[in-house]
Structure 1
């Protein structure tokens, strides 16, 4: 599973097919569903400066961000190591819960 950048008729997006990710175990252990909505929340919490520049169109089976190529490339760079690291996801979830952030998964 990899993060993919798309350009369709001038609309740029980044997608991640969810389920089967290395980090899914950490997501489930924390009581969340490892779906597109969870990953959208994680992005909104962990990288709010990037998230505010993007629109989201996530679904249960896919995380989707829409924006300009440079912002999407920046998101890809920060998100790629996280989807393969249960420890990184546990850390972000713990920080989110401590701050009162609620995931919409």
Structure 2
């Protein structure tokens, strides 16, 4: 699951973490006019959930920072599904380019 990790922070509570700036697509994201920080990755996650699996939206919360993306909650399966949606984008420049273009075409704004 690199560069992400899913941790149990306390019994029954989980966090999906991604260190922003540690992905293979960081330079591409910058070239597309965005800062590859935790807030950008929250936008990626929100757009993916909306487009791919809207039922996930209420099953966890977000708490990004400049240097880290974080989604958290008690539903481990939902966070695992989110990780599966995000993981390809951390290393596949073509997929990231397509996602950013699709988001911008819909008027979606990344909060980066």
Equivalent-residue separation in structure 2 for 1:52 and 1:39 (angstroms): 18
- Within-5 A mapping of 1:28-39: 28-39=30-41
User: Runs (4+) of structure 1 moved beyond 6 Å?
Assistant: none
Equivalent-residue separation in structure 2 for 1:55 and 1:70 (angstroms): 14
Residues 58, 64 of structure 1: 8 Å contact kept: yes
Q: Could you tell me which of 8, 21, 36 is aligned with 2:23?
A: 21
Equivalent-residue separation in structure 2 for 1:61 and 1:51 (angstroms): 23
Gaps of 5+ in 1: none
Equivalent-residue separation in structure 2 for 1:78 and 1:46 (angstroms): 7
- Counterpart of 2:72 in structure 1 is 66
Q: Could you tell me which of 96, 99, 111 is aligned with 1:104?
A: 111
- Counterpart of 1:9 in structure 2 is 10
Q: Could you tell me the TM-score, scaled by structure 2's length?
A: 0.87
Gaps of 5+ in 2: none
Q: How many residues align?
A: 105
Q: CA RMSD in A?
A: 1.2
User: 1:41: how far off?
Assistant: 0.3
Instruction: Flag the 1:19–1:103 CA change in 2: closer, same or farther, 3 A.
Output: same
